[in-house]
Amino acid sequence: MGSAIFKLPVHVTGATSQTAGKAGLVPPPAAGDENKVLKGNGTWGTVEALPAVTAIDNGKVLMVVNGAWVAGSIPAASGVNF
């Protein structure tokens, strides 16, 4: 019988503005990170710059207007509302 060689999995390598990341295991979140998301750079962080919304915004979508997130409605196209 031959012997098998196993490689231990590695953690994901995050992307930068110049290089793509590499597949791997997701790093475990620390205590207190329950409201964070895994970012493309391989770290846990918060989603930034989302607008505050209330019940009046029900049925609206998030979109970017002038470089900022806003809750809005998609205009009708050829008489069809979205």
What does each of the 82 residues of the chain score in pLDDT, given as a tens digit?
567 787 777 888 888 889 998 888 888 889 998 889 888 888 898 877 667 778 887 778 888 788 877 878 777 666 665 5
Q: Which domain holds residue 56?
A: 47-77
- Distant-in-sequence, close-in-space partners of 2: CB < 8 Å, separation ≥ 6: none
pLDDT given at position 73:
79
Residues 42 and 64 in one domain: no
Task: Specify the pLDDT at position 5.
Answer: 80
Report pTM. 0.46
Residues 12 and 38 in one domain: yes
Number of domains in the chain: 2
- C-beta of residue 30 within 8 angstroms of C-beta of residue 43: no
Closest of 44, 40, 52, 49 to residue 69, by C-alpha:
49
pLDDT for res 31: 93
